[in-house]
Amino acid sequence: DGFISIVCDIPKHFGEATDCQLYTGDERQSYLKTKTSKSATGDLFCQFTVNKDDLFRRLQSVRSRGVSCDYTVNTEPPSLSPRSDPYNFTGLSVITRKAHLPSSQPAPAVTAAPPPRPHLKISPAVLRESSTVQMTCEVPQSQSASLCLFYLDGIEAAPYSHPSCQMSLSGVQIQQWTRQSSPLEAKVGCNYLTEGERTQSDHSDYVALTVLDRLQKPNIMVLHDGSISIVCDIPKHFGEATHCQLYTGDERQSYLKTKTSKSATGDLFCQFTVNKDDLFRRLQSVRSRGVSCDYTVNTEPPSLSPRSDPYNFTDEPEMTTSYSQQSVTFGTFCLAHPEAPTSKQTDEKQL
């Protein structure tokens, strides 16, 4: 999958080890540094997940094929262990075997194939900065995991490795993890280490996670010809919008509610088709000429956007005795506020 995982096992009786360093070749300066993690059995280890191309470029630059690691113990002053025996890569292909463990520990057995991949569940898939997402890395029943690791856009960090295989993160924490500001979309994945040999599984399928900032108001457009069609356009980047509400005047209670639809270009919108006499009677009852709309996004709890700017009817067609409803078809959706109705549409009595 483009990444190499290197595990540095810390010998028992060194429970105060706090950090590990990864080295390429005989370089004195470490290539990577990470904090220790603890397995379900209480053993300490460090895991480095690196991009294979970046690592191989680094190895080529130092003219070496080997990586090694050491660990730091929290003494005063801090103590550094000897380095592990090096692990030498035999070629520049995707290699997912572990680094050799420190010489005081036996090397792990080489498995013929990685354990089966887990399944990742996240809820909700869309959240606000102040909300929380729950992630669960479901390990196959045939396996026993000592640790689960979570990734956002391929980035893994030690604080987000969990023996319970469950994790909760706020929208703000996701921003910090990905180093992005909202609105953002990230791909979330996970994998696990088995008990005993600590063999690493393949990654789960990646799931899209969206963090929203303040919702943007939609745009509204009105067409009428016998019946009236009102289109509520939803701004891009809010693909999890599920419903729209239509309002008359300044009423708090919505007049109509409908589910979102998707255009041929993938943009979301809502269409309300209403009987013109019913709508104008409603507008007369609330002493208004305007309609507006908003949309609901499937966060937890659901989030409501600001209302669109109102569309004000400048003229009212004559009331009809027949309430036939004729659908109006159209192929384009205007993102700008619409112009006032034409003279053909408005040559009727005032509201």
Residue 35 has pLDDT above 90, yes or no: no
End-to-end alpha carbon distance in the chain: 64
**Helices and strands counted in the chain (H then E):** 4, 25
157 contacts 32 by C-beta, under 8 angstroms: no
Instruction: Determine what percent of the chain is predicted with pLDDT higher than 70.
Output: 75
Matching residue, tokens 């000429």: 289
DSSP state letter for 289: -
**Domain co-membership, 244 together with 335:** yes
Q: Look up the pTM and report it.
A: 0.47
351 domain-assigned: no
DSSP state letter for 173: H
* Tens-digit pLDDT profile for residues 78-107: 778 888 888 888 654 333 333 333 444 333
Q: Which of 313, 219, 232 lies closest to 271 in space, CA to CA?
A: 232
* Tens-digit pLDDT profile for residues 302-351: 888 899 999 998 865 444 433 333 333 223 233 333 333 343 333 333 33
**Domain co-membership, 240 together with 337:** yes
> Which of 88, 105, 135 is a domain's end point?
88
Q: Which amino acid is at 41?
A: T
CATH code of 64's domain: 2.60.40
Tell me how far apart the alpha carbons of residues 120 and 165 are, in angstroms, rounded to a whole number: 10
**Domain co-membership, 142 together with 78:** no
Per the model's pLDDT, the better-predicted residue between 98 and 67 turns out to be: 67
Q: Which of 324, 338, 326, 334 lies closest to 290 in space, CA to CA?
A: 338
DSSP state letter for 305: P
Confidence class for position 39, pLDDT limits 50, 70, 90: confident
Label the pairing between strands 126-128 and 207-212: parallel
CATH code of 260's domain: 2.60.40.10
pLDDT average, residue stretch 108-125: 70
> Which of 212, 242, 271 is a domain's end point?
212
Confidence class for position 294, pLDDT limits 50, 70, 90: very high
Domain that holds residue 33: 3-88
Per the model's pLDDT, the better-predicted residue between 41 and 242 turns out to be: 242
Tell me how far apart the alpha carbons of residues 176 and 39 are, in angstroms, rounded to a whole number: 26
112 domain-assigned: no
pLDDT average, residue stretch 178-187: 82
**Domain co-membership, 304 together with 238:** yes
